[in-house]
Copies of this chain bind each other. A is one copy, B any other.
Amino acid sequence: MKTHTESEENYIKALYHLGGEQPVSNGDLAQRVGAKGSSVTQAVKRLGQKDLVNVVPYKGVQLTPKGIRLAKSILRKHRLWETFLVDKLGFGWDEVHPLAEQLEHIQSEELVDRLFQFLGSPKHDPHGDPIPERDGQMPPVLGQPIGAFTAGAEIRIVRVEDAGSEFFDQLDTMNINLGNTYEIRTISAFDASVELGSPTGSFWLSQSMCANIYAVQS
Contact = CB atoms under 8 A, between A and B. Distances in A.
Contacts of A106: 99, 102-103
A107 interface: yes
Given A99-B108, A102-B108, 13 more contacts: A85-B111, A88-B118, A89-B114, A89-B115, A90-B114, A91-B114, A95-B110, A99-B106, A99-B111, A102-B106, A102-B107, A103-B103, A103-B106
A20 to B, nearest CB: 29
Contacts of A107: 102
18 contacts: A85-B111, A88-B118, A89-B111, A89-B114, A89-B115, A89-B118, A90-B114, A91-B110, A91-B114, A95-B110, A99-B106, A99-B108, A99-B111, A102-B106, A102-B107, A102-B108, A103-B103, A103-B106
Which of the four size classes fits the interface of chain A?
A: 10 to 19
A99 to B, nearest CB: 6
A150 to B, nearest CB: 42
A123 to B, nearest CB: 20
A99 B108 CA distance: 8
Contacts of A85: 111
A65 to B, nearest CB: 27
Contacts of A99: 106, 108, 111
